[in-house]
Amino acid sequence: MNFGAHVSIAGGIYNAPERAINLGCECFQMFTRSPRGGKPPELKDEIVEKFFENCKHASLTNYYVHTPYFINLASHKSELRENSINLVREELSRSSLLKVKSMMTHIGSSKDMKRSDAIENVVDSLNRVLDAYDGHTELLLENTAGQGHTIGITFEEIAEILNKAESKKIGVCIDTAHMFASGYDLRTDKDIKDLENIIKNTVTFDKIKLIHGNDSKVDFNSGKDRHEHIGKGKIGEGGFRSIINNKQLNKFDMIVETPPEGVKEDIQVLKELRDKAES
């Protein structure tokens, strides 16, 4: 299992690999633009070349992109949904240009809608995003903490979307803090074994491509999205040890998305747990 972090692209996207290495990352995640909106910085040839050079220099081959926060593929507001579809498509092509392995997006929210209508919109949006898409980067859907009316709270719901979507190439990114907050306990070996069975019976391990490794500031099943440093939250070191020891889960890269101060230590904690698991 390789560990990495979400790193900033401040000053230029080609700065991300060095930041990752300085944190001890073996893989990394980034935005390609401001997550809060606005026009994306143009990916000129020389910028892309410099990014590749810096990745090579840092020996980093596995890197991922997170889409901006405001995406809502379910929305009944047509302008927001159209913008979201265009943005996910645009991000997929920007990511492909950068040879990004996969790109995860939050699915959206069913606020002021019937849940089934929201799911129908999501499926339609995904079909349109991936229509004639044959880029390098794979699209992943991320599970949510269960806050508000977000979609993707349960693995059953994500499996339903994957089954209904035309493209069979959509993958899943599982976030530990979100799982814990939405009612999937992760604190013991037994919890991780149970999770393994749930995944086998819903989205399946073939679809999982990445793990977001975040401890949780909030209690089990609290439905809130608050990340904490590894081992310092309610999941605790034991939960991460169990994940790292699990043969189905430890084949994926794990990216931490914890507050910037302390990320280096998070990676270190995870590497130590891995070292102990191997010895």
**Residues carrying an active site annotation:** 36, 66, 69, 106, 142, 175, 178, 212, 225, 227, 257
In the complex, the smallest distance separating the C-beta of residue 50 from Zn ion, rounded to whole angstroms, is 27
Spell out the long-range contacts of 29-32 with Cβ–Cβ below 8 A and sequence spacing 24 or more: 29/4, 29/5, 29/63, 29/64, 29/65, 29/66, 29/255, 29/257, 30/6, 30/63, 30/64, 30/65, 30/66, 31/65, 31/66, 31/68, 32/65, 32/91, 32/94, 32/95, 32/98
Residue in this structure with the two tokens 């593929």, named with its chain if needed? 73
Nearest distance, CB of residue 143 and Zn ion, angstroms: 9
CA-to-CA distance for 158 and 143, rounded, in angstroms? 8
Q: How far is the CB of 261 from Zn ion (least distance, A)?
A: 19
User: Where is 139: in which H helix or E strand?
Assistant: strand 138-142
Name which of 121 and 143 has its Cβ closer to Zn ion. 143
Residues that bind Zn ion (CB under 5 A): 175, 212
Beta carbons of 27 and 62 less than 8 angstroms apart: yes
Which residues 6+ apart lie within 8 Å of 224 measured at CB? Answer: 145, 146, 147, 181, 218
Nearer to Zn ion, 19 or 227 (CB): 227
Residues, the chain: 279
Residue number with CB closer to Zn ion (157 or 175): 175
Nearer to Zn ion, 14 or 138 (CB): 138
CB 48, min distance to Zn ion, A: 26
- Which of 212/234 has CB closer to Zn ion? 212
Q: How far is the CB of 171 from Zn ion (least distance, A)?
A: 14
Two structure tokens written together for 235:
């999941």
Residue number, nearest CB to Zn ion: 212
